[in-house]
């Protein structure tokens, strides 16, 4: 799984988070060889509703880019040296 341990990666479908079962020897451990796991939003919500997990205190809101400097017409001069 890509990413650095300890970092959270967001996607439309879930969160990639540090695996609490990493290196666990317990029979119920999930993916104990993986440092990171993806928690799918639908599964996280079911666990939260069943009171098997605490809510993750994070709200993501979409935004619209409105700055004309960012959304206007542009061109790239591939011959220009940077």
pTM (two decimals):
0.45
Confidence of residue 7 (pLDDT cuts 50, 70, 90): low
Residue 76 lies in a domain: no
Q: In terms of residue numbers, what domain contains 18?
A: 9-71
Report the sign of the C-alpha dihedral through residues 65, 67, 71, 75, in that order: negative
Residue 38 lies in a domain: yes
Residue carrying structure tokens 């317990």: 26
Beta strands in 1-82 (DSSP E): 9-10, 14-18, 36-40
Report whether pLDDT(26) > 50.
yes
In the chain, the number of structural domains is 1
Report whether pLDDT(46) > 90.
no
- Paired tokens of 33: 């060889």
State the DSSP code for 56: P
Residue 3 lies in a domain: no
Counting other chains too, the contacts that 3-6 makes at CB distance below 8 Å and 24 or more residues apart are 3/36, 5/35, 5/36
Residue 80 lies in a domain: no
């Amino acid at each position: 799984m890509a990413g650095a341990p300890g970092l959270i990666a967001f996607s439309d479908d879930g969160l990639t988070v540090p695996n609490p079962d990493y290196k666990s020897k317990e029979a119920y451990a999930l993916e104990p060889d993986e440092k990171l796991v993806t928690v799918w939003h639908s599964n996280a919500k079911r666990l939260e509703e069943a009171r098997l997990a605490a809510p993750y205190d994070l709200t993501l809101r979409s935004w619209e880019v409105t700055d004309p400097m960012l959304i206007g017409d542009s061109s790239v001069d591939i011959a220009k040296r940077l």
